[in-house]
Structures are given as C-alpha cells and as structure tokens.
Structure 1
Amino acid sequence: MSKTHIHRVDVHFGDCDPAGIVFFPNFSRWMDEASLAFFMACGVPPWRELNKTRGIVGTPLLEIHTRFFKPATYGQTIEVHTSIESWAAKTFRHRHVVRRGADVLCEGAEVRAFVMRDPDDADRIRAIPIPEDIKALCT
C-alpha cells in the first residue's frame, strides 16, 4: 500500500479561462507538481540531488489519463491527493484525486518511469529498474 500525500493549490485568476473556470491543462500541471511533492514528502531527495549522487534524472511522464467532474475557479483552494496505485519493474502508476472539500473535481492517473542518462548517448535517457530503497520510502 502506498502512502498518500496531499498537495494544496490556491487557484488564481490567471489559472482560469475567460469564463472563470480553471483551464484544464492547469490540472495536469498541478498533478505534475503533486508527483514531485509526493516523493519529497516520502523522504526521496530532489531529482537534482539524485542525479548528482545516483544518476537518476527523474520520473518523466509516459502516459496520462484525466477525468473531470466539477469545475474550480479562482479564490478557491483545492487539494491533490497523490498515491502510487501500482509498481512495475521500471514504471509506476501515480493516482491523483483533486478535491475541493468533499467534492471530487477530477481524477488523474499517470504512468511514469525512473530514468537515467544513456551511457552511450548523453542526449538520451533510459528507464531503469525502480530502486528498492525509493519504493520502500513510498510504501
């Protein structure tokens, strides 16, 4: 079972479209922020530190799926509840539930991989097996 981290977001006027509704890509941005916040809350060092010490560049996004239920607008505070739904050898599935109080605004799922630079081509990255110590911090 994964830990769950709650990432709070204050919605600003600039996050909204002309109708005053949060522009949908902002939910993806907040889920991406919540992904990093999840790992840091679990005790995983920032990616730049892991890059220096272990060569791990981060966890780029491979797949995303989002379902929207209710809108949000500026002046509201929302929460992104993030957990890891499943682990595979080199990938994991992050689950995000965006709430405003008891209301679920949207749900998102992301497939991400742990990656490092390819030793044969520094311009490329390659997926690596998920480090067991990082997995243990998150469960």
Structure 2
Amino acid sequence: MAFTISRRLGFGDCDPAGIAFYPAYMRLLVDVTEAMFGDFGAPWPAMVRDRRLGVPTVKLDVDFTAPAFHGETLDFAVGVAALGRSSVDLRHRVAVGDRTVWTARQVLVATSLDTHRAVAWPDDIRAGLAAHLEKTHAPDPAA
C-alpha cells in the first residue's frame, strides 16, 4: 500500500508566474520521503544521530507532466517497487486532484555514516519499507 501525504505549494515554491519551480519539487520529495520513514517509526534525525545510518539518493528519474500553481495542494503517493538488501526503489506519483503533475523513480541506499558504504537495512526499517511494497511492479535486478 502506498504512503500518502499532501503538501500545499507556497509562495516560495513558485516562480514569478505562480508556477511550481522544479527545485522546490525536489525539496518536497525529500520532505515526503522523510515523512514516510517517520510514519513507520524510523525518523531520519534518530537514524542519523543514534544509528549512524543515512539514506542517500543514488538514482532519480523525474517526469513532469503538468504544471502546478501557487496555493494548490499536491497529493503524494509513494510506493516501494523493489526492496533489496541495502536499496529501495521508490515510485512517486504527485497529483493535484485527478491531474498527475509529476512522477518519479527514486533509489535510496542504506549507508553507514562512518564508512560511507552500503549496509543492510535494519530489520525494523526493512519491515516498514516492505509494508509499502507494491505488487504491480516487477523487481529491478539492479536495485
């Protein structure tokens, strides 16, 4: 089941014409991904501070399909397409009502902040990610 959350586009998220500025989308993507981890009990501040675990993005592919405007509410749906030993392949769909605004594929890797090397997902985080695993996507062998 996808993780869902909404975010309103503020003045600072838009260009002078009131259209969402794509770098703001990337900030929102990070915010939503962090919220998803927090929702299943793995808040990023504690992961970094207490567990010395990071989750850098190693692949990001975004398709922009329609504009969004100042004041609109973006509805995010984030699903897990594949879950590897140390990686997770996320699929994002961002919409305003029924209109898809953009989609993204994002691959994160669990990384030790001490060695900067990939590490296996801790069992509790793996379980949280697995709860969002979508059965409609074939696993990506590279993930």
Both structures adopt the same fold (TM-score exceeding 0.5): yes
Over the matched positions of the two proteins, sequence identity in percent amounts to 28
Contact 2:65/2:102, CA 8 A, preserved across alignment:
yes
* 7-16 or 99-108, larger mean C-alpha shift: 7-16
TM superposition score normalised by structure 1: 0.85
In structure 1, what is the equivalent of residue 112 of structure 2? 116
Q: CA deviation at 1:24?
A: 1.1
Q: How does 1:48-87 map to 2 (within 5 A)?
A: 48-56=45-53, 58-87=54-83
- What do you get for the CA RMSD once the two structures are aligned? 1.5
TM alignment of 1:1-139, pairs within 5 A: 3-44=1-42, 46-56=43-53, 58-119=54-115, 125-138=116-129, 139=131
Cα pair distance change 1:28/1:51, threshold 3 Å: closer
Residue pair 1:11, 1:75 contacting (<8 A) in 2 also: yes
Letter of the 2:81 counterpart? E
> Can you list the C-alpha shifts for 1:31-66, whole angstroms capped at 9, x where unaligned?
11111111111222x22323343332x211111000
5+ residue gaps, structure 2: 132-143
Question: What is the distance in 2 between the residues matched to 1:75 and 1:97?
Answer: 19
Find the aligned partners of 2:50 and 2:114 in 1 and give their Cα distance. 16
Quickly say closer, same or farther: Cα 1:73–1:62, change in 2 above 3 A: same
Number of aligned positions between the proteins: 130
Unmatched 5+ residue regions in structure 1? 120-124
Higher strand share: 1
Letter of the structure 1 residue corresponding to residue 19 of structure 2: I
Q: TM-score, normalised by structure 2?
A: 0.82
